[in-house]
Amino acid sequence: MAYIYRFIENQILSLSKMFPVVMLTGARQVGKTTILKHMMKNLKIKSFVSLDDINERSLAINDPKLFLETHPYPLIIDEFQYAPNLLPYIKMTVDDLRFKNLNDSTIKCDGIYYLTGSQKFLSMKNITESLAGRVGIQDMLPLSKREIYAYDNIFFNIEKVDVQKYEKSKCDTIIKIFENIFLGGYPELIERKIEKESFFSAYVKTYIERDIRSLIKIKDEIKFNNFLIDIAARTGQELNYNSIANDVEVSIPTIKEWISILYNSGIIYLLYPYYENTIKRIVKRPKVYFLDTGLATYLTRYPSADVLMKSSYAGAIFETYIISEIIKSHLNNGKSLGNFYYYRDNSKNEIDLLYEINGTLYPIEIKKSSNPTKSFIKSFNVINDTKKRQGNGMVICQYDHIMPIDKNNLSFPASFI
């Protein structure tokens, strides 16, 4: 099985030179273990151990000191959240090496331990408390379109669009884009060409039985599965807890808990609205996006890309695809996601994505259309009501090349993301 090069490798290398511990988080099957195993030579890693192995897990839990002595560093500890009690012993090892480094600079004290975890909120809580200042943390998502097709790693920079970088980019047809949307980006599905239905059926079963059961007591797994389907059908929409609770027939606190689990296990992304006290009548609920469109279309039971493309779901899943690809571009290039927002008010002004950089808001509208018009950017003027400056805007759509809409805004082909 051929390895697909992951753009995030550079970020892992950078973190390994700055921190003694590198933590890689992400949903199951996004490729965390594969990428670290692939990088073992470059990172000079000596050994690998997975806590999925019940014997290794038992040793790590019952005798963490012996566990670390048994496995020489630099070491990959896969699914380390099963033994969070390892963290104090990792800290002691790291601090001891740092102390020795003060007297002997040949003693290496960076890139000592590499941890992976698919339960982000437990992993992050434990690791930030135990290894503050000693750990570099990197999120990982499924394959981006540019990784799947081995394109150049062009960072999607709305602040300054370098048109020349995209001149050699291939402009896909709408059918091809929806084929990408339908399949999604889980590496095993792409690399091994497993049948989609079989892959995701096993994936959802494993996710519920292993990750969810270890976090909460689910009284009714059917209701949780119905909840997954309901959220997938709502991708690209505002998060309405009352409506979801009514659909699934569980309480609102339960829905909030389940949303938190999906978010922290890398299944969904919550895009929060841009908010200022000076703006009245603004919507304050986050929008929910699945981070893999293949999983979303599996849960919503679309049988093919063609049926999906012609459905009422097409606009929402197209928007989800673009948002997820932009998120991947930022993570793969070491950029923060903290400056992403959307805008909607009660006067029906909407902007799909706002990106704030240095006090400037850059608006993005996402349309399945291949005919960009000025009507698509009419809401951009609401930025003038904020305390921020308005930057150049963009309409991401099906038009086949980069083209100005007016002097401040341009259309951008979806397949260039």
Question: H/E element holding 144?
Answer: none
> Where is 86: in which H helix or E strand?
none
Closest Cα partner for 352 from 376, 333, 335? 376
Q: Is 72 exposed, middle or buried (0-12, 13-18, 19+ CB in 10 A)?
A: exposed
Helix 252-264 / helix 241-248 crossing angle, nearest 10 deg: 100
Of the candidates 120, 168, 155, 110, the residue with the CA atom closest to the CA atom of residue 141: 120
Neighbouring C-beta atoms of residue 97, cutoff 10 Å: 16
Q: Which of 400, 399, 351 is nearest to 372 (CA)?
A: 399
Long-range contacts of 242-250 (CB under 8 A, 24+ apart): 248/223, 249/223, 250/223
**Whole-number pLDDT of residue 123:** 53
Among residues 166, 143, 148, 150, the alpha carbon closest in space to that of 412 is found at 166
pLDDT for the residue 302? 98
Residues 250/223, Cβ–Cβ less than 8 Å: yes
Tokens at 241, concatenated: 């807890």
The CATH superfamily of 9-139 is P-loop containing nucleotide triphosphate hydrolases (3.40.50.300)
- The domain locations on the chain are 9-139, 145-416
Q: How far is CA 90 from CA 66, 67, 69, 72, 109, in A?
A: 12, 11, 11, 12, 12
Q: What is the pLDDT of residue 159?
A: 86
Strands 360-366, 389-390: pairing kind? parallel
pLDDT along the chain (417 residues), means of 10: 90 96 93 96 95 96 96 94 90 91 82 85 63 90 94 88 78 92 95 91 86 72 91 97 96 93 91 79 88 98 97 98 96 89 90 94 95 93 88 94 92 92
